[in-house]
Amino acid sequence: MGGWLSQVDGPVQKRNTAGRARNSEPPRDSSIREEIHEEVPVFHRRRVGDRCYGTRAGDGFGGTHVIFSIFEKTIQNLDVTPKIKVVTVPGQGGNKGAKEAAKSKTDGCTLFAIHQSAITSYLNGRIKFQYDNFETVSLLTSTPDIVGASGKVPWNSFGEFKKAVLAAPDTVKVGATFGSTSQFYWLILEDLTGMKFKFVPYDGTRERMTALLSGAIQMGGLNVASGRKYMESGDLKGFAIAAAERSKHLPNMPTLKELGVDMIYALDRGIVAPKGTSAEVIDHWSQIFKKAAEDPGLMKQMDAKGTEVNPDFPDGTDNC
């Protein structure tokens, strides 16, 4: 996971039951984190006068960082308060950020970018809590995974790759953050195809992508958001996408279903707040992210990243 820091300009506006906005004191401490399969964005702030400032805590290398950077820039340009600024905080495949966010104050200054690793890490005993330790602000995007490979491997198709793995089980190195979605993807692929991989642990997406690019490992999960430029340059290869349809950005890449593997696998990303955050604060942030998700510029950028914007909010509304 990675974390992003954010800066708030101006007071938080809360909505009362009549729908009118009223001002409250600005947030005193804020962190927003997201898991990048990666790494998660987190914001930490300290109050200086009537503003909250954050400092950069790291950088990201994965899809979560890419996607929420787009949300950050969009919200900065909207006529809303407060503003956010994301900083990726790496560590423990996103769990370091999750632990910090879970114990943060419920004053509206802490948001956490989350996906299914919150569940898989809990099931594997890596953390003692899961998604129900947070309050839902919004579901925002869905990004399908790609069967990715180093540009140095001799195979040029899923069929060639599968044949090689079946002929030499437990020898092809696959990079993954153990217990996270990046490993579950390959475990499911093993079950559906009979292939057996040699898993190599990495703390987060940055380390895993570096290993894949260098050829230290042969296989690893990719997506259009974080891997497209490397696949187009030949530094990485993509053999199949785990989506219902081919990506219009990678039209020559078949889906797994086309190849006889009945598997659809995507990371669904959203925003949560610490457990106990008030309904007023949740509604305030939901409205901000809803407005951002409706922005034509954001939708265009997400489309270019192969990511579907499919927002869903606690009040049951969406933008579809």
- Smallest CA-to-CA distance from 163 within 242, 239, 266 is with 239
Looking at the domain assignment, is residue 273 inside a domain? yes
The residue among 220, 239, 259 that closes a domain is 259
317 located within any domain: no
Question: Is the Cβ–Cβ distance between 1 and 79 less than 8 Å?
Answer: no
- Same domain for 217 and 290, yes or no, is no
- 135 and 19 together in one domain: yes
Is there a domain that residue 31 lies in? yes
CATH label of the domain that carries residue 214:
3.40.190.10
Residue 242 makes CB contacts below 8 A (sequence gap 6+) with 144, 145, 146, 147, 185, 255, 256, 263, 264, 265, 266
Q: Look at the pTM and tell me if it is higher than 0.85.
A: no
CA-based torsion, 173, 177, 183, 186: positive or negative: negative
Query: 320 in a domain, yes or no?
Result: no
Asked whether residue 66 falls in the same domain as residue 181, the answer is no
Q: How many independent structural domains does the chain possess?
A: 2
- 3 state DSSP class of 43: coil
**Residue 67 belongs to some domain of the structure:** yes
215 found inside a domain: yes
Range of the domain at 242: 146-259
**Within-domain flag for 20:** yes
* 157 and 173 belong to one structural domain: yes
- Same-domain status, 24 and 100: yes
User: The CATH number of the domain where 126 resides is what?
Assistant: 3.40.190.150
Per-residue pLDDT of the chain (320 residues; tens, 9 = 90+): 333 323 344 433 333 333 333 333 333 333 333 332 333 444 333 333 333 333 222 234 467 778 888 999 999 999 988 888 776 666 555 666 677 777 778 888 878 888 887 787 777 787 777 777 889 999 999 999 999 999 999 999 999 999 999 999 999 999 998 888 889 999 999 999 999 999 999 987 888 999 999 999 999 999 887 788 999 999 999 999 999 999 999 999 999 999 999 999 998 999 998 899 999 999 999 999 999 999 999 999 999 888 999 899 886 666 54
